Structure 1
Amino acid sequence: MTSRWLLSSFGIVLAGAIAACSTNSATPEAASPEAAPTQTTTTAQPAASPASVQKIVTLTSLTTDIIHTLDQDTLVGIPGSSILQEDTRFAELAVVSTGRAEPDLEKIVALEPDLVIGAKGFHDKSLARLEELGVTTLAVDVTGWDTLATLTQELAQQIGADPQPLLDRYDACLAKAPENSPSAIVLVSRQPLLSPNKDSWAGDFLEQFNIQNLTADLQGESPFDGYVTVSEEKLLTTNPDVLLVVDTGEDLLAQLKGDPFWGQLKATQSNAVETLDYFGIVNPGSLASIEATCDRLSQL
Structure 2
Amino acid sequence: MALTSLSADIIHRLDRTKLVGISGGRLMRQNAELAKLPQVSEGQTPPNLEKIVALKPDLVIGAAGFHDQILEKLKATGIRTLTTQVTSWQALQDLTRTLATEIQADPAPLLQSYQSMLPTNPVNPGSTLVLVSYQPILAPNKASWAGDLLNQFQINHVAADLQGQSPQRGYITLSPEKVLEANPKILILVDVGDGTVDKLKAAPFWNKLNAVVNNRVYIFDYYGLVNPGSIDAIAKACQQLQQVIAKK
TM over 0.5: yes
1:209-261 residue CA offsets vs partner (Å, 9 max, x unmatched): 11000000111111110000011111111111100000112232221121111
**RCO higher in structure (CA 8 A, sep ≥6):** 1
* Structure-to-structure mapping, 1:231-270, within 5 angstroms: 231-270=175-214
1:126-165 residue CA offsets vs partner (Å, 9 max, x unmatched): 0011010010000100110001000100100111100001
Match of 1:276, SS? strand
- 1:146 is matched with which residue: 85, 90, 109? 90
Residue ranges of structure 2 left out of the alignment (5+ in a row): none
Counterparts of 1:245 and 1:273 in 2: how far apart (Å)? Answer: 7
Match of 1:178, SS? coil
* Structure-to-structure mapping, 1:90-129, within 5 angstroms: 90-129=34-73
Matched residue pairs, number? Answer: 244
Q: Which residue is equivalent to 2:18?
A: 74
Q: Which residue is equivalent to 1:225?
A: 169
- 1:166 is matched with which residue: 64, 85, 110? 110
4+ aligned runs moved over 3 Å, structure 1: none
Q: Which residue is equivalent to 1:48?
A: none
What residue identity is the alignment partner of 1:189? S
Of 179-188 and 211-220, more deviation after overlay is shown by 179-188
Q: CA deviation at 1:181?
A: 2.4
Of all paired residues, the percent bearing the same amino acid is: 51
Q: Which residue is equivalent to 1:59?
A: 3
What residue identity is the alignment partner of 1:137? T
Counterparts of 1:97 and 1:250 in 2: how far apart (Å)? Answer: 22
Counterparts of 2:126 and 2:107 in 1: how far apart (Å)? Answer: 33
Counterparts of 2:120 and 2:196 in 1: how far apart (Å)? Answer: 28
Match of 1:161, SS? coil
* Structure-to-structure mapping, 1:185-196, within 5 angstroms: 185-196=129-140
- 1:271 is matched with which residue: 203, 215, 231? 215
Match of 2:128, SS? strand
TM-score normalised according to structure 1 size? 0.79
Residue ranges of structure 1 left out of the alignment (5+ in a row): 1-56
Counterparts of 1:89 and 1:161 in 2: how far apart (Å)? Answer: 19
